[in-house]
Chain A
Amino acid sequence: MAYSDKVVDHYNNPRNVGTLDKSSQEVGTGLVGAPECGDVMRLQIKVNPDTQVIEEAKFKTFGCGSAIASSSLATEWIKGRTVEDALAIKNTDIVKELSLPPVKIHCSVLAEDAIRAAISDWKKKNGVAEAAAAETAAQ
């Protein structure tokens, strides 16, 4: 299978690999996928409590080259954005940027899921929005 130059570049030089302190109030962690499916992504964000800007993003991914590239790109894109801006990133943007073939679209979906999961974890920790949404749902 031929990989696009951008996938190869992210695979060879993955951006923002690492681990943030899961227990920190400012850190949100998203763990998505499953080992049985052949890909697991863990994406972490560190959010400035005053500005809600994502100051740091780290990832680790078990998966194919396209999965690694999708999550690497996701960390690059969310860094410096506010939490709400980061939620605007769609998997189709990732597909386009990395020229992913149809069989690899699920990798981009997983990356979007990882962003959402990390933000949702941070919101839960900090009692933002999600709690309100849950309340609305409960009513």
Chain B
Amino acid sequence: MSTVSSQVEVPAGVKLPIYMDNHATSPLDPRVLEAMMPFFTQKFGNAASRNHSFGWEAEQAVETAREQIAKLIGATAKEIIFTSGATESNNLAIKGIAEMYRERGNHIITQVTEHKAVLDTCKRLEKYGYRVTYLPVKADGLIDLEDLKRAMDDKTILVTIMAANNEIGVLQPIREIGKICHEKGVLFHTDAVQAVGKVPVNVIADNIDVLSLSGHKIYGPKGVGALYVRRRNPRVQIAAQIDGGGHERGMRSGTLNVPGIVGLGKACEIAMNEMDSEAAYLRGLRDRLKAKLESELDYVHVNGSWEHRLPGNLNMSFVYVEGESLLMGINDVAVSSGSACTSATLEPSYVLKALGLGDDVAHSSIRFGLGRFNTQAEVDYVAAKVIDIVKKLRELSPLYEMVKEGIDLTKIEWAAH
């Protein structure tokens, strides 16, 4: 009797389940937690309280965090606006600019593999009379700069292109994109949630006018994020989307989440100090994982550019094995899949489809998101486990058998259902 359940040995020091889904969220760094703790029960003041020490203490902590964040991205503290996270930052940036620059033009340029927080925001603006161009990506997941230049016209007010993709980890050429925007006098926003703290991002050198970032992707807390808004050359103006007490220079009202902000600041400080060594470490782990998988399995391929990629990202398709069934077999490892079966919509990943991959390859994809707290022993276990389960599932796969027999699957008339 064949069996899919795995008997891969768990190495000493490895605790199950293993978390390898750091693009979804990351664990809080204990140093971040330590920095946050006093701001819940002791230093609980409202940063907007101007007339007592509780307020001053909170305000001081917020300003320190502002500086820590600014420093990580080469900005100044006054250019940082606090939000509830990157989804809000993206909404504020895109809607706020669209509203403020409406008289100058109504055209926005983005690209097809953006996060839904950008795509759906743009779609809403289309309902209000804005024109949006969704640039395609090449097979490596990167946009073509010539496409960008061609898409610009005299009504273009904003280009919004992500720095790093959340599924395939590819790094868009943001410096060149920003340069093109500045030459044309168009504002450039980037959703840098996955990039900040992982790879160098500098708003001056990279010609960025507005940038979204989030706490929980960089070992900080959930529910807090920031928006960088350039104050000089050019001074960017953003129409508030939340009205109220006029916090954050009127751009984002609402009492500040002081513990969260302190945590975000601390997370940025740690990232600033450790980015180089951490990137090298993660690249080592990731390359080891890839090498092990490729040495034992045929018909695997990496999705998206290998060269322009986040250090901790490996997105791989194990062709002829369906992603959800693979996840089920490696259920003591937390990763994610682009398979339709894992999504609520039963549609495979739109990011993978945008690369021109067939649905069948998208259905077979797994995203490994390595992070600060993963170890080499964990990588070795995950590799062994994936290899074991893929081999077993291929024993079960009629497609794998047919391909091995030399049958061309594209020549078969499949009865779609």
* Interface positions of A (Cβ within 8 A of B): 1, 3, 11-15, 17, 19, 31-42, 60-65, 67-68, 103, 106, 109-110, 113
CA distance A19 to B2 in the complex (A): 13
Residue of A nearest to B415 (CB): A32
Known: A19-B401, A33-B415, A33-B417. A14 touches B396 (CB 8 A): yes
Could you show 9 A-B contacts with beta carbons less than 8 Å apart?
A: A17-B2, A32-B415, A35-B414, A37-B416, A38-B340, A38-B359, A60-B401, A62-B322, A65-B328
Q: How many residues of B contact A (CB 8 A)?
A: 35
Known: A17-B395, A40-B414, A41-B398. A64 touches B324 (CB 8 A): yes
CA distance A62 to B396 in the complex (A): 7
B-side contacts of A63, CB under 8 Å: 322, 325, 341
B24 → chain A, closest Cβ, in Å? 16
A62 touches B341 (CB 8 A): no
Cβ-Cβ contact count across A and B, 8 Å cutoff = 100
A-side contacts of B346, CB under 8 Å: 103
Partner of B399, one of A11, A15, A35, A109: A35
A-side contacts of B198, CB under 8 Å: none
CA distance A63 to B4 in the complex (A): 14
CA distance A40 to B340 in the complex (A): 14
B219 within 8 A of A: no
Q: Which positions 317-360 of chain B face chain A at CB distance < 8 Å?
A: 320-322, 324-325, 328-329, 339-342, 346, 348, 358-360
B391 → chain A, closest Cβ, in Å? 13
B-side contacts of A17, CB under 8 Å: 2, 395-396
B416 touches A13 (CB 8 A): no
A35 touches B409 (CB 8 A): yes
A38 → chain B, closest Cβ, in Å? 4
A64 touches B322 (CB 8 A): yes
A-side contacts of B2, CB under 8 Å: 13-14, 17
A110 touches B417 (CB 8 A): yes
A29 → chain B, closest Cβ, in Å? 10
